[in-house]
């Protein structure tokens, strides 16, 4: 059973890990921050952006005083109710964006590539070496 699963999974994992390596290598060689493209793939930046996006979502919901109002109504729904739901949608979109950003910058497996040791040593090197710099 486990054997089966691993066989099925290997290509899946090797993909991102392999990409990690080339991207990270590229970043390090070229200094990394010279162009907008490089900025987008910068791992620390992606993580900061993710922290900001997630933090904003939580903070917006927690600041109850900012939205505990009746109006303006939207299709008859008081502000308090539709504003909560709006943040649900924004949050989902934000998290989708974060997944994309982390995937692009190759930090989708931050330092935990070690965790994939079971599937092969190739994952260890790049993903763990990168962040340590």
Partner 1 sequence: MSASGAAAVQAGGVPVPVAAVQVPAGEVQAAAGGFHGAQFAVFAVLLTGVALLGVFAARWRRGGTGALASLDDWGLAGRGFGGFVAWFLIGGDIFTAYTFVAVPGAMYATGAVSGWYAVAYTTMVWPVVFVLMPRLWSLSHRHGYVTPADLVRGRYGSRSLALAVAVTGILATMPYIALQLVGLQAVLEVMGVGTGSGNAFVRDLPVIIAFGVLAVCTYTAGLRAPALIAFAKDTLIYLVVAVAIIVIPHRVGGFGAVFDAAEGKFDAANAAATAAGRHPSAVFIPGPKDFLAYGTLALGSAMALFMYPHAITGVLATRSREVIRRNTAVLPLYTLLLAFLALLGYVAIAAGVHTTNPRLAIPLLFDQEFPPWFAGVAFTAIAVGALVPAAIMSIAAANLFTRTIYVGHLRPAATAAEEAKVSKIASLLVKAGALVFVLGLDTQNSINLQLLGGVWIMQTFPAVALGLWRPRLHRRALLAGWLVGMVYGTWQAYEQHSPLAHHFGGSLATVPGLGRTGYIAVTAFALNLAIAVVGTVLLRLGGVANGPDETAAVPAGTALPSPRADQPEPAPSP
117 contacts partner 1 (rule: CB under 8 A): yes
Other CB atoms within a 10 A radius of the CB of residue 75 amount to: 5
* 87 sits near partner 1 (criterion: CB under 8 A): yes
Do 18 and 9 form a contact (C-beta atoms < 8 A)?
no
For 64, left (φ over 0), alpha (ψ -120 to 50), or beta? alpha
Q: Which is nearer to partner 1, 36 or 62 (CB)?
A: 62
Q: Which stretch binds partner 1 (CB under 8 A): 25-33, 34-42, 93-101?
A: 93-101
Q: Whole-number minimum distance, CB 38 to partner 1, in Å?
A: 20
Cα–Cα distance for residue pair 7/46, rounded to 1 Å: 31
Under the criterion CB under 8 A, does residue 40 sit at the interface with partner 1?
no
Q: Cβ of residue 111: shortest distance to partner 1, in angstroms?
A: 5
């Amino acid at each position: 059973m486990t054997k089966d699963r691993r066989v099925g999974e290997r290509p899946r994992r090797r993909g991102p890990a392999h990409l990690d390596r080339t991207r990270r290598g590229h970043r390090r060689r070229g200094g990394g921050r010279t162009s907008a493209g490089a900025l987008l793939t910068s791992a620390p930046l992606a993580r900061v952006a993710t922290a900001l996006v997630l933090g904003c979502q939580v903070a917006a919901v927690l600041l109850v005083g900012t939205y505990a109002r009746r109006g303006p109504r939207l299709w008859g729904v008081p502000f308090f109710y539709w504003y909560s739901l709006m943040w649900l949608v924004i949050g989902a979109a934000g998290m989708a964006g974060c997944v994309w950003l982390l995937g692009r910058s190759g930090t989708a497996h931050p330092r935990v590539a070690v965790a994939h040791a079971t599937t092969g040593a190739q994952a260890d090197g790049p993903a763990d070496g990168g962040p340590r710099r």
